[in-house]
Structures are given as structure tokens and as C-alpha cells.
Amino acid sequence: DQQVKQNSPSLSVQEGRISILNCDYTNSMFDYFLWYKKYPAEGPTFLISISSIKDKNEDGRFTVFLNKSAKHLSLHIVPSQPGDSAVYFCAASERGAGSYQLTFGKGTKLSVIP
């Protein structure tokens, strides 16, 4: 049973436009959420995180939004650049329960077209 779902396997966006990647979760105990980016043959690279006490966190071109009532989060990349082309993973953990393992979604492959 997938507790973290990324329903779009792929997304194509024009360079300079906004990329919006979505993630849904089912476990209401999740209280910390992260986005990782992965290039082929490399390990995932941490991008940005958000605690469940917040609804928005911003870092440069990357913003993560959390809607707890809908159990939904999204990653916005503005403006998108060709170097952003990668697979993006949403992940969650139950820090409040003392669990630090990350539960990942299946990923969304983002292609930014020059």
C-alpha cells in the first residue's frame, strides 16, 4: 500500500515557465516532508523540506506547499531551467513518533525543454 503517491510519472515544461510537481499521502502521522532530485546513476540529492506546522517553505527558485487537510504537497520551480531535468521524489517521515525512515513516492520525471 503506497503511503506516498506521485501520480504523474512524467512532466514536460518549457524553459522559463513554472514546474509544479504534486504528491499525495495517506498516513496522517507523517509530519515532515522532503523533496529529492535524482539524476541518472547518482543518488538522490536533497532539495527542500517542510514541517507539518508550516504550509509553505521557500528556497530560491524552489517552493514547497503543504495542505494537511487534503494530505497534499507540491513543489514549484520558478523559473524552470534545463538543468532541472531529473526525477523528483517526494518523501515523508513520522518524526514526532521518533521514526526517521523516509517513505518515498515513485517519482516524477521532469523534462525542461530549452
Q: Which residues bind another protein (CB under 8 A)?
A: 4, 32, 34, 36, 41-46, 49, 89, 91, 95, 98-107
CB closer to another protein, 79 vs 103: 103
How many other CB atoms are found less than 10 A from the CB of residue 88?
23
The x, y and z cell numbers of residue 21, run together, are 510537481
Cell numbers that stand for 81 in this block? 531551467
- In whole angstroms, give the CA distance from residue 30 to residue 22: 16
- Residue 80 CB, nearest approach to another protein (Å): 22
Q: How far is the CB of 98 from another protein (least distance, A)?
A: 8
Cα 1 to Cα 5: distance, rounded to the nearest angstrom: 10
Q: How far is the CB of 16 from another protein (least distance, A)?
A: 29
Please, which residue, 64 or 91, has the CB nearer to another protein?
Answer: 91
Task: Supply the minimum distance, in Å, between the C-beta of residue 15 and another protein.
Answer: 27
What is the radius of gyration, based on Cα positions, of the chain?
14
41 vs 53, beta carbon nearer another protein = 41
Q: Cα(104)–Cα(91) distance, rounded to whole angstroms?
A: 4
* Nearer of residues 14 and 45 to another protein, judged by Cβ: 45
SS3 86: strand
